[in-house]
Amino acid sequence: MAIKRALAIPLACRPAASMLSPVLYQPIKLQGLMAIRGLSSTQTIFVGRATTGTARRFYSVISEECKAKLYNYPQIKKLTQAPNPDSIIVDVREPVEYEEGHIPGAINIPFKSSPGALGLNAEEFEENFGFKKPDADKELIFYCLAGIRSTAAEDLAKTFGYKKRGNYVGSYEDWVANEIKKDTVPATSV
Residue 159: half-sphere exposure toward Cβ, Cα within 13 Å: 10
Contact between 157 and 140 (Cβ < 8 Å):
yes
What are the two backbone dihedrals, phi and then psi, of residue 148, each rounded to the nearest 5 degrees? -80, -55
Would you call 144 a catalytic residue per the annotation?
Answer: yes
Alpha helix positions (H), the chain: 27-36, 73-81, 95-100, 122-129, 148-159, 171-184
**Catalytic residue among 144, 152, 153, 169, which?**
144
Q: List the catalytic residues.
A: 144
